[in-house]
Amino acid sequence: MSEALVASQAAGTGTPVPAASGARQFWRRLRAQRAALVAAVVVALLVLVALAAPLLTALEGQDPTTYHPSLIDSARGGVPVGSLGGISSDHWLGVEPQTGRDLFARLVYGARVSLGVALAATLVQVLIAVVVGIAAALGNRWVDQLLSRATDIIVAMPLMIMSLALLAIVPSGFPRPVLVALVIGLIAWGSPAKIVRAQTLTLKQLDYVSAARLSGWGTWRIARRELLPGLAAPVITYSALLVPQNITVEAALSFLGVGVKPPTPSWGQMLTAADVWYQAAPQYLLLPAGALLVTVLALTVLGDGVRTALDPRAASRLRVGTGRKREARAAAGAGTPVKAAAGSLEKAAAGSLAKADAGPPAKADAGTPAKADAGAPVKADAAAPAKKETKA
């Protein structure tokens, strides 16, 4: 059985469809959503900034860890010298209060940490979820029960409390960004595992999986060759929605002081000390908060667009920029002929019913009832008077 035929039968089309056409169809559906395209451009720019952080800071001539005590006013409590938080040609976004570290350099390096931790945590979650979900769906009853109950326990665990506890007991010498990614990934894999298990149970009932089983294929070969391609769409969709959630968790952990430690920059860590400087240096609070807001919003919109492109039967939850007016006009244009045809059918049906009502009942009224009325009653009336006259 060819992989193209397998893909087509999984989709229910019945004809072989090459994988390239599926990719083109996905790209065409994604391009139809303007909000998803804008979000994709924003995410691409953020990733580019994170990857080019050393080049950008070298272009500015600064780095994220160097202190500049001459650029802060110690008499005023460490407020940056100059207007707008010390913005100048040497410091494009100003300097950090109390330390004088360059704010632009810390912001772009913080993007590397926040995005890197979120992507690594998502990768760990997805790997564990796929393995556990497939093993639970393909295993016997005891394996399914054991893995399902373990997944329920993981889902019931409070993520923030467990993360705080684990991060507090790990030695400080362990690389903190790696530790945060591992902790988030090892605690938050329960929900995607449930999705993978449910989808695998659905796929294993299809004909091509049964055919592979009858051909003598082993369980893990069936999982690798038959089930994983069918699981790609829901796994990719859920992964796209996990990334912004993990960015928020990393920022919250760093804000609470148990995540990424100084001097390594992180957006959540920058917000930890920014709450007392929002009046003297508002950009120290607004810049990392705005970066988090834009990143999470863009990833969320992109994840919803990917979900809609992979499953066109599911309507988008975010209707911004999805062409509602164009869809309404198309629906109205397609509805007019249907309404006209429906009107013609209704008129034809009404005519048929009218003919049916005017047929057999009319014949009955002119036939048997009339004969009865003109027959027996009239005969009786004519016979009785004649009999009386003869007797007289």
Name the DSSP class of 65: S
| Residue 315 banded pLDDT, cuts 50, 70, 90 | low
Q: pTM (2 decimals)?
A: 0.71
CA-derived radius of gyration, the chain? 37
Give 7-52 as a DSSP string: HHHHHT--S---HHHHHHHHHHHHHT-HHHHHHHHHHHHHHHHHHT
DSSP 3-state of 72 = strand
Q: What's the pLDDT score for residue 325? A: 54
Provide the 3-class DSSP secondary structure of residue 282.
coil
Give the pLDDT confidence score for residue 344 in this predicted structure.
54
**pLDDT greater at residue 312 or residue 379:** 312
What are 332-377's pLDDT values in tens digits?
554 444 444 445 555 555 555 555 555 554 444 444 444 444 444 4
Q: Report CA 329 to chain centroid distance, whole Å.
A: 27
What are the two backbone dihedrals, phi and then psi, of residue 95, each rounded to the nearest 5 degrees?
-125, 165
Report residue 321's pLDDT band, with 50, 70 and 90 as the boundaries: very low
The proportion of the chain whose per-residue pLDDT surpasses 70, expressed as a percent, equals: 74
| pLDDT tens-digit series, residues 27-64 | 888 888 899 999 999 999 999 999 999 999 999 999 99
Q: What's the pLDDT score for residue 262?
A: 83
pLDDT band, very low/low/confident/very high, at 184 (cuts 50, 70, 90): very high
Give the model's confidence band at 272: pLDDT under 50 very low, under 70 low, under 90 confident, else very high. confident
Predicted confidence (pLDDT) per residue in 208-262, tens digit: 888 988 888 888 889 888 899 889 888 988 898 899 999 999 999 988 888 888 8
Do residues 93 and 87 make contact, with C-beta atoms less than 8 angstroms apart?
yes
Residue 86's contacts (CB-CB under 8 Å, 6 or more residues apart) are: 71, 72, 80, 94, 95, 100
